[in-house]
Amino acid sequence: MGGRDFPRAILRHVSADTIQRPVIAIVGPTASGKSTLGIGVALEINGEIINCDSVQVYQEIQVATAKVPLEERKGVPHHLIDFVPPSINYTAVEWAREAAKRIDEIESRRRVPLLVGGTGFYLRALRNPFFISPQTDESLRQRLNTMREKHGAEYLHRVLRRLDARAAAQLYPRDWPRVQRAIEVYVQTGRSIVDQKGDRPEAHESSRRLRILALNPPRAELYERINQRTEAHFDAGLVGEVQALLSRGVPPNSNALGAHGYRRVVEFLQGKRDLPSAVEQTKLDVRHYAKRQLTWFRHEAGVEWFDGFGEEKSVLACVLAALAVGPRAK
């Protein structure tokens, strides 16, 4: 139950380096207090934080992102946060590349890198790099998006079946992001994605020294917190912020405006739903997301779990104790 499924603390394959020069990752569901815990840990161990959240990378969007304001960072440097224009669609691979660089820089200053954020996919891109593939072809992607909007997801799957039947066979027809990706890979490289997936490049050296610490707060309390935080975002002027972003020309279908909170407000402003339903749907979106994050990290290898919220003093204490002793993960 709840992810603490490592009864035996089997210490194996743990190098001395992992204990002496760890790269720490603090993960967990949204609203579990990762940022606070991250700052707390950083202060204790001379750390710097690298954001590992796919939405906090964007500039300009603010109220619903849960970015820690500068004045609350207690002097701990934060990297890879607030640095991508909201109309750009940033990717996991780009993040992983940048993160690796920052890790090196931070360590060269004799400080400890602390990856903080809930995007498991980003972390995986760092630990198990994806096969090398060309940069996204935005015009191709745009064309595929248009096709899907016109004819539906299944239509794209049929297109893929003609191009690359093996890839199509492995994907659900409605799973359009992966179907699109498979088409893009085939068109851009002339080879099936299934033949390339195994070609994973060597991971950055530091990922062997990774300590992944995950927060596991009580589910009901987490959900309650999410609901309240969502209300707070709306009270803090979320709608106005979205209006401003749209009028500034940020595309309504950009990644940034697809983030929780933003997406539903865009729909509201487009007249597709009323305000109360935007609020309720956002709460739901975020709760579902939190649950998926839990699922993700539960199945990620080598995760060390901590029950409770990151703001709790006792949790910080447990984390610091664990860092002093060494990994207890399998």
Partner RNA sequence: GCAGGGGUGGUCGAGUGGUUAAUGGCACCGGGCUGUAAACCCGGCGGGUUCACACCCUACGGAGGUUCGAAUCCUCCCCCCUGCA
* Interacting residues toward RNA by CB under 7 A: 30, 53-56, 64-66, 89-94, 118-122, 125, 130-136, 141, 144-145, 153, 172, 174-178, 180-181, 185, 193, 197-198, 200, 219, 223, 255, 258-261, 263, 284-289, 291-296, 298-299
CB nearer to RNA: give 155 or 289: 289
CB of residue 264 to RNA, shortest distance in Å: 10
CB nearer to RNA: give 128 or 314: 128
Strand partners, 26: 116, 213
Strand partners, 114: 24, 49
Strand partners, 213: 26, 304
308: phi > 0 → left, psi -120 to 50 → alpha, else beta; which?
A: left
Q: Which of 108, 55, 84 is nearest to 259 (CA)?
A: 55
DSSP 8-state secondary structure symbol assigned to residue 204: P
CB of residue 78 to RNA, shortest distance in Å: 14
DSSP 8-state secondary structure symbol assigned to residue 192: -
CB of residue 266 to RNA, shortest distance in Å: 12
Dihedral angle of Cα 224, 289, 248, 84, to the nearest 10 degrees: 120
CB of residue 14 to RNA, shortest distance in Å: 24
> For residues 277 and 256, what is the distance between their CA atoms, to the nearest angstrom?
21
CB nearer to RNA: give 45 or 284: 284
Angstrom distances, CA of residue 145 to CA of 85, 150, 176, 206, 255: 22, 9, 9, 37, 14
CB of residue 109 to RNA, shortest distance in Å: 27
CB of residue 210 to RNA, shortest distance in Å: 18
CB nearer to RNA: give 45 or 131: 131
CB nearer to RNA: give 192 or 243: 192
CB of residue 100 to RNA, shortest distance in Å: 14
Spatial contact of 114 and 26, defined as CB atoms under 8 Å apart: yes
For residue 247, the tally of other CB atoms under 10 A from its CB is 8
- Beta strand spans in 93-233 (E): 112-116, 210-216
CB nearer to RNA: give 94 or 307: 94
CB nearer to RNA: give 15 or 277: 277
